[in-house]
Structure 1
């Protein structure tokens, strides 16, 4: 087992619960978990350790929203996402832990900016219908989503932007996202395993944290319709900014 201080275990426990809640109730909320994992663990190790917990959360997301996926959208994104995954894998293979750590910090800040911009866009005029299914649109977002999810498990906000741009209905958004990340996370496993990022210590730590992901997912399913989304988002964004700055400096 990785030797960690009590405060570090508390942070990872909070991150695990957040992963579960984000998968069933608050898409994008896992950005807080990314910051907590990267603050406690070595950057590359944090990416691998969090991936396995995300896969636990994916099971509950699929149970809740599996019937609402739009498969043509997934197929359209696939080539660009694969390209992004390969680029992200190459970056992890050649970059030192310090560089990856700072990269995660930058990615977090960019993802927060993207999320805030997306919310402002929701109050503007609707996106031009011609954006739906555009090859350029799917190529840009797919590549960036593949890269960010490989390097930092931070593809959620990017793909949310894509679904917004294509004016995807809410239920289809949730179902397509659930399948997208369930498939992508499985694909990422052999890449990270090839870099030796799943030692026994990481697997044991994830085994301890996995029940907290389940608890978070159940909480998300129960209170999804009762959560004060605006307040929660403000807390998540504030804590994530603090975590990103910590990673950078």
Structure 2
């Protein structure tokens, strides 16, 4: 019986294992930024589409764990608003995937991430600040579905809409878990149609899968003990690191 044709380069695993742990921690909530670093990091050793395909089964396991852990904290009204627009974004991603330069998309997402973060830090919202308008939420959620499809970097756009609502950390985490479960689930058929779910990618994903629950459990322990103020500081740090990495990959990397 022949061995599975997975990636065997040690350099890949030296980057991929920490990246998987990072996205697992992100599923506990403050990865609103950190999780988007996974594909850009893995793209140092494999192509962006291959990195995105390898992450698919791993994200599925993480999403299921997140849904189970935070099932009592969903904001169903917000979820019902977000998911249809996110799915529109995945359709756009499916139809344009072959025409896109994934690095350019990453760079554009990074620029908007940093602009949003700068605006929030320069003009922090007051407790009585109104929520962002729904038309902006719809637009940002479509963009989130699109960038999630292309490179699993859907968190920054949707954060620009949801973070100003200042939801309690557990509600924020649960709502994002439900949203990205639906978005990631919708990618399976398009990814297969595009030929990304081949045996080598799926075998490599299987090798990385044991690290998925470790990262999620690490994040859950932190999320249930963290103060809201520190929670949002970590969100902002994750967004800053994500934005800088995406900008570098999009406009400066060779």
Please indicate, yes or no, whether the TM-score normalized by the shorter chain is above 0.5: yes
Judging changes above 3 Å, is the alpha-carbon distance between structure 1 residues 157 and 4 closer, same or farther for their aligned structure 2 residues?
A: same
Counterpart CA distance in 2 for 1:149 and 1:127 is 31
Question: Structure 1 residue aligned with 2:21, among 13, 17, 22?
Answer: 17
Q: Which has the higher helix share?
A: 1
> Would the aligned equivalents of 1:127 and 1:167 in 2 still touch at CA under 8 Å?
no
Hey, what does 2:77 align to over in structure 1? 72
Hey, what does 1:90 align to over in structure 2? 95
Counterpart CA distance in 1 for 2:56 and 2:123 is 30
Runs of 5+ in structure 1 lacking a partner? none
After the TM superposition, which residues 106-185 of structure 1 pair with which residues of structure 2 at under 5 Å, given as runs? 106-107=108-109, 109-110=110-111, 112-113=113-114, 116-117=117-118, 119-120=120-121, 123-126=124-127, 128-129=129-130, 131=131, 134-185=133-184
- 1:186 shift after superposition: 0.5
TM-score by length of 1: 0.84
- 1:246 shift after superposition: 4.4
Judging changes above 3 Å, is the alpha-carbon distance between structure 1 residues 84 and 55 closer, same or farther for their aligned structure 2 residues?
A: same
Work out the number of aligned pairs and report it. 243
Judging changes above 3 Å, is the alpha-carbon distance between structure 1 residues 127 and 54 closer, same or farther for their aligned structure 2 residues?
A: farther
Judging changes above 3 Å, is the alpha-carbon distance between structure 1 residues 112 and 7 closer, same or farther for their aligned structure 2 residues?
A: farther
> Would the aligned equivalents of 1:114 and 1:158 in 2 still touch at CA under 8 Å?
no
1:43 counterpart = 2:48:
yes
> Would the aligned equivalents of 2:28 and 2:66 in 1 still touch at CA under 8 Å?
yes
Counterpart CA distance in 1 for 2:242 and 2:174 is 28
| CA RMSD, 1 decimal | 2.8
CA distances 1:227-248 after superposition (whole Å, capped 9, x unpaired): 9765796588448735652464
> Would the aligned equivalents of 1:22 and 1:217 in 2 still touch at CA under 8 Å?
yes
> Would the aligned equivalents of 2:149 and 2:187 in 1 still touch at CA under 8 Å?
yes
Judging changes above 3 Å, is the alpha-carbon distance between structure 1 residues 81 and 127 closer, same or farther for their aligned structure 2 residues?
A: farther
- 1:34 shift after superposition: 2.3
Judging changes above 3 Å, is the alpha-carbon distance between structure 1 residues 151 and 139 closer, same or farther for their aligned structure 2 residues?
A: same
Hey, what does 1:101 align to over in structure 2? 103
Judging changes above 3 Å, is the alpha-carbon distance between structure 1 residues 6 and 115 closer, same or farther for their aligned structure 2 residues?
A: farther
